[in-house]
Amino acid sequence: MAYYDNLTLEKGMYRSGGQGFTQALEELDPSGAYQGTGLQGLDAFERQLKRFNIKVGGGSSDCVEKFFQSSQTATLFPEYVRRSVALGVKDASILQDLIAANTAIDAMDYRPLASIPSEEDKSLKRVAEGAQIPSTQIRVQDHLVRLYKRGRVLVSSYEALRFERLDLFTVTLRQIGAWIARSQLNDAVKVLIEGDGNQNPAKVIPTAGADAITYDDLLGLWGEFQDYEMNRLVAAPDVMQKLLGIAEFRDPLTGLNFQGTGRLSTPMGAALYRAAGVPEGMLVALDKSCALEMVTAAEVSVEYDKLIDRQLERAAITSVAGFAKIFPDAVRVLKVKSGAGA
């Protein structure tokens, strides 16, 4: 086993066996060997930052040029960029609160599974001794789910950024991650509403009145989930304003929960989110446990060659993901009737 301050770092570790840079480091310098030491709690990458005394956060953070003091420290720079962007994706995304499964693949197309049970399938009737047990068919869908690459290109020069503090640069990278997260959320919302290309759009339920949502509309929406649980609501900004005007949403406990956690709940117990990607006048309701699958070919990747050799000049940061429906009946859409022309 190589000790962390005796490793030789080189950019080939980024493509070692298809794994990530930190995974390659962990194979050479396992974190388990540091239990009970002052380095416990740090992963292999963080130990390399400590080795070269590179501070990436806080008021005493180093400048960008600290990463380029040698060829070995320059090798660490793409992983720092990737982690910063990934943190921005995580902090800005509500996807993890909406998806039931996350599948990683090594392709740009994906054929999801489908199981659409009939009422007869759901009944699970008694089976007499020696009788045949009823079956539920699981098959692959007819149409592929396409994955889309989302990302940004860093256009800068080393000279322009060399004296910038890493703490400030991290803020910029995290914002790129936030943009990626919003784009992926828009993709997810579109699949929830329109389907993934396999003739599985969500059932749309109109409100009783025009230009308004009532508590009775929400009760009707809740009643649609007979075989599932309505535990997530994703609202367009205009619909969110209408919801918060309903008397039942003014419960003091709802306000206290929002102040304490930053999350809104509903009188039905479903977590409520606002998303600009939801079309105007729509409220998407779903069962988080079985409605949506996220498929990723690359979570966050960077052009490590350019970041190491060309020092920031036009390096792309990307993420590749798509979405598939699992149980179509686990999603419903409430559509506010328009009063135009009435």
What local confidence, expressed as pLDDT, does residue 146 receive?
82
- The pLDDT averaged over each successive group of 10 residues in the chain (342 residues) is 80 74 91 90 94 92 93 93 93 92 84 66 62 64 80 82 91 93 94 90 94 93 92 95 84 52 68 94 96 89 80 81 91 89 48
Q: What is the spatial distance between Cα 317 and Cα 163, in angstroms, rounded to a whole number? A: 22
Contact 286, 95 (CB under 8 A): no
What local confidence, expressed as pLDDT, does residue 342 receive?
45
Contact 188, 218 (CB under 8 A): no
What local confidence, expressed as pLDDT, does residue 134 receive?
63
Altogether, the residues listed in the chain come to a count of: 342
Partnered with residue 334 across adjacent β-strands are 205, 283
Contact 45, 13 (CB under 8 A): no
**Cβ neighbour number for residue 97 with a 10 Å cutoff:** 13
User: 270: number of CA atoms within 13 Å, CB side?
Assistant: 24
Q: Please name which of 289, 290, 287 lies closest in space to residue 268, comparing C-alpha atoms.
A: 287
Three-state SS at 239:
helix
What local confidence, expressed as pLDDT, does residue 259 receive?
47
Amino acid at 166: L
